[in-house]
Structure 1
Amino acid sequence: MTVKTTLSFTDRHHRFLTDKVGQGVFASQSAAVAAALEQMIRDEEERELTLGAMADEIRARLDTPRADYVPGENAFATARARLQAAREA
């Protein structure tokens, strides 16, 4: 379903929309706005998924027994060794 609405834009935004339509990037200003909204929806969905995954990882790590912790000095030992090797090369 399509809903007709009225939107107001700054001169800058209007000029940008008009230029993109004139360049053939979008069929109309409405199409450009719809594309921008679709991108915002995708960005929000990705953000929600990312935050959910981060929260799950944090919960999993909170459930890790202390005996399974990696000492801080060992946590990045491999990365430090690779960096040192790269510097010496």
Structure 2
Amino acid sequence: MIKLRLKRCGRKQRAVYQIVAIDVRSPREGKALRKVGFYDPIKNQTDLNVRAILYFLEKGAQPTGTVQDILKKAEIDKELRPNQTKFN
């Protein structure tokens, strides 16, 4: 199963995160299938590859809670077609 989740980067006390598509059995810092976005909680910046995110959601990937909140804030959940299953 594939999940969209955060991968920690940056330095000590200054974390930034990559939003990645990754196998659920992989560790947090493990090899990702694909990088689909970037999130900086300190500057509150996001950079999302909407096409890649929608591709993985169509294939059944499940976003984690934090990634789900980021996607809702960016209004990507509204771009899902009606015949696709929405995430919780």
TM band (smaller chain):
under 0.3
Greater strand content? 2
Greater helix content? 1
- TM-score for the superposition, normalised by structure 2: 0.18
Look at both structures and tell me which one has the larger radius of gyration over its CA atoms. 1
- TM-score for the superposition, normalised by structure 1: 0.18
With a CA cutoff of 8 Å and minimum separation of 6, indicate the structure with the bigger relative contact order. 2
